[in-house]
Amino acid sequence: MTEHTNTPELRFPEFSENWESKEFKDIIKVNSGKDYKHLDIGKYPVYGTGGYMLSVSDYLYKNDAIGIGRKGTINKPYLLAGPFWTVDTLFYCTPLANNNLSFLLNLFRKINWKKYDESTGVPSLSKMTISKIKCKVPIISEQEKIGNFFSKLDRQIELEEKKLELLEQQKKGYMQRLFSQKLRFKGENGKVYPNWDLKKLGDILERGNKEKVNNIDKYRRVTVSLHGKGLHEVIQERKTKDTRPFYQRFEGELIIGKQNFFNGSIAIVPSELNGFICSNAIMSYKINNYIDKKYLLEYLLQNDFLRKNEYLADGTGQKELSEKKFEELEIKIPNSIEEQEKIGSFFNKIDNLIELQTNKIESLKQRKKGLLQKMFV
């Protein structure tokens, strides 16, 4: 296998010159952010390590630049669209002559910034550390070609992310209209379905398995993700003694995180996680046969429903929702199982589109990650 010490593995064919060894101080200037509190509200964005914060009446720099955290989040450089202001925990880096900003941004993204962390507490970088980082760079024309290539890829990812956001917004809109009955399905030949009833969850659910697992190390564990993202396996990297009781959970059961129910910690156990275990921090229920599982899940995940009942969590430390209070909650249910199934099936189709779009975005990001490794030295 050929080693590419001074040239990248993947390259545009019109270029053959070796890349030049430099330090960051030779290609970029690292500038400090400043306090903005003396400024009025205005049109110029203020950026911190987490991104946009607010808009003020003046700017610190008028052109585009690269933002990199001085303190806090130091491993996520991003493009700052000028004119802008940055706070003192965010450096803004500007290219020196004969250097392309988009190329440099992707060079920044390739670097493992955590390796340069100077603190034992809050992650930190200094101007000196950034300036002394060694790198290899091509001539300006090759920089521009690489920079333009990655800019187009970034725009494609951004476009796909906007499509995903639109799908998620559409789903929320349908949830509001369907569960408020402003929009209703009809049966064959335009048949109108019966009215909906208000039922307590305790009347349609039965508490799940309460038989404690004795040897928990023999089982695989699951936990429930936030915001309706389903269940996922918990990988135990090291063996630690866990004194909590654990229970097996089975396909088709409704799973509820006691502490994070109001953040959408709700899921249905899929077939591939049948028989896995979880702790007593997670409630489990069998769902009555006359209730469509997907209908129930989507109803519970409504943001309005979760916010309305948030006050029910109690406790002196981390607040939890008890089984008793959960079972007292009331939901609207169509009397017709056929109507429930139509609503559930409709949301399944939207979720499939969302999953396809999410996978498409992840594939593009992985492609970009691979190209960053091959197109830079």
Sheet holding 221-224, edge to edge: 231-234, 221-224, 277-279, 246-248
Query: Does the pLDDT value for residue 52 go beyond 90?
Result: yes
DSSP state of 216: G
Which domains, ranges and CATH numbers included, belong to the chain? 20-137 (3.90.220.20), 139-190+336-377 (1.10.287.1120), 196-334 (3.90.220.20)
Sign of CA dihedral 106, 107, 108, 111: positive
Q: What is the mean pLDDT of residues 92-121?
A: 95
Dihedral of CA atoms 304, 306, 308, 312 in degrees, nearest 10, equals 180
Q: How far apart are CA 315 and CA 261, in angstroms?
A: 14
Q: Are 257 and 266 in contact (CB under 8 A)?
A: yes
3-state secondary structure of 264: coil
Say if pTM beats, i.e. exceeds, 0.95.
Answer: no
Q: pLDDT of 214-261, one tens digit each?
A: 888 888 899 999 999 999 888 876 566 677 899 999 999 999 999 999
277, amino acid identity:
I
Going by the DSSP 8-state scheme, the letter that residue 124 receives in this structure is: B
Instruction: Give the amino acid at 40.
Output: D
Specify which residues 135 forms β-bridges with: 22
Mean pLDDT of 51-61: 96
pLDDT band of residue 2 (cuts 50, 70, 90) is very low
Q: Which of 96, 61, 56, 57 is nearest to 80 (CA)?
A: 61
Task: With H, G, I as helix, E, B as strand and everything else as coil, classify residue 201.
Answer: helix
